[in-house]
Amino acid sequence: MNCFFYQKNEKIKSVTLINSNGNYYISVLAKFEKKIQKVPINDKMIGLDFSMSELFVSSENQRADYSRYLRMLEKS
């Protein structure tokens, strides 16, 4: 059996071997520490909320103006 790891700092936590109907299955649980990269802060973000009447409302109180298309869809 060949075994290899993707990360150098992986550690095997548990191994389970199952014989089901003459077939062997192996499950390996490995643990490794991953360095979390910080995401740069962007002040240009907005939030969007779903609105039944206007499709969406932004955090800057901008509203979608799709009323003509919405009425056309409601009629069909």
When comparing pLDDT for 66 and 37, which is higher?
37
When comparing pLDDT for 55 and 34, which is higher?
34
State yes or no: pLDDT of 3 exceeds 70.
Answer: no
Measured CA angle at 9 (ends 8, 12), to 5 deg: 110
- Enter the tokens of residue 27: 């499950």
Measured CA angle at 49 (ends 43, 51), to 5 deg: 150
pLDDT score recorded for residue 16: 92
pLDDT score recorded for residue 17: 92
Q: What is the rounded average pLDDT of the residues 32-61? A: 75
69 φ, ψ to 5°? -70, -35
